[in-house]
């Protein structure tokens, strides 16, 4: 069975540069940072994606991300930040252990984010209906 890199980081078998840890969470610097200060917040326990992660943990994750992101902005001199979570391989998730990217930002053009295109307003209500129907 292939080992999960982030479980190995959580249990200390793979080294990491940690900025925070408690009983539930671990935050450590991303090894391939998109910007200076880019770190990952993840759970100690293994959950592959956000919808498999217990609500009680997720309820703690955002307040913690907020605190860590503010420390990062002050610490590395950033004016803003992105919170990004990839869920599933098609989204670009490479490590199948749920995590939140905290990416300090200094300039709008730093990330290669593709701009959206104007929605087709004849179709958009049906897209919304399809989502609502599954709530
Ligand atoms: P994903 O695409 O799964 O959302 O992002 C995974 C992130 O984990 C990537 O940004 C990648 O650089 C980071 N990463 C992968 N392996 C390691 C590792 O062994 N140590 C650290 N610190 N980060 C890693
Ligand atoms: Zn894991």
- Write the CATH number for 64: 3.30.428.10
Find the residues whose C-beta lies inside 6 A of ligand 1.
5, 14, 16, 28-32, 40, 86, 92-95
> Is pTM, for the whole model, over 0.85?
yes
Instruction: Give residue 118's pLDDT.
Output: 87
How many angstroms from the chain centroid is the CA of residue 87?
Answer: 9
Query: Measured between alpha carbons, how far is 18 from 26 in angstroms, rounded to an integer?
Result: 7
Q: How many domains does the chain have?
A: 1
**CA 81 and chain centroid, separation:** 12
104's enclosing H/E stretch is strand 99-105
pLDDT computed for residue 132 by the predictor: 87
Which of 10, 33, 95 best tests ligand 1's pocket when mutated (most atoms within 8 Å of CB)?
95
Closest ligand to 85 CA? 1
Range of the domain at 28: 5-132
3-class state of residue 27 by DSSP: strand
pLDDT at 128: 86
**What residues of the chain score a pLDDT lower than 70?**
1-2, 110, 112-113
Instruction: Tell which one of 40, 48, 91 to mutate to probe ligand 1, the residue whose CB is within 8 A of the most ligand atoms.
Output: 40
């Amino acid at each position: 069975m292939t080992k999960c890199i982030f479980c190995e980081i959580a249990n200390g078998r793979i080294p990491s540069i940690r900025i925070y840890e408690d009983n539930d969470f671990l935050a450590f610097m991303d090894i391939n940072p998109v910007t200076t200060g880019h770190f990952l917040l993840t759970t100690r326990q293994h959950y592959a994606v956000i919808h498999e992660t217990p609500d009680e943990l997720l309820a703690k994750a955002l307040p913690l991300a907020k605190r860590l992101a503010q420390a990062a902005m002050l610490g590395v001199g950033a004016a803003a930040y992105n919170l990004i979570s990839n869920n599933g391989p098609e989204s670009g998730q490479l490590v199948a252990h749920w995590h939140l990217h905290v990416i300090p930002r200094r300039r709008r053009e730093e990330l290669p984010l593709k701009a959206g295109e104007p929605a087709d307003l004849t179709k958009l209500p049906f897209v919304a209906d399809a989502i609502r129907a599954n709530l």
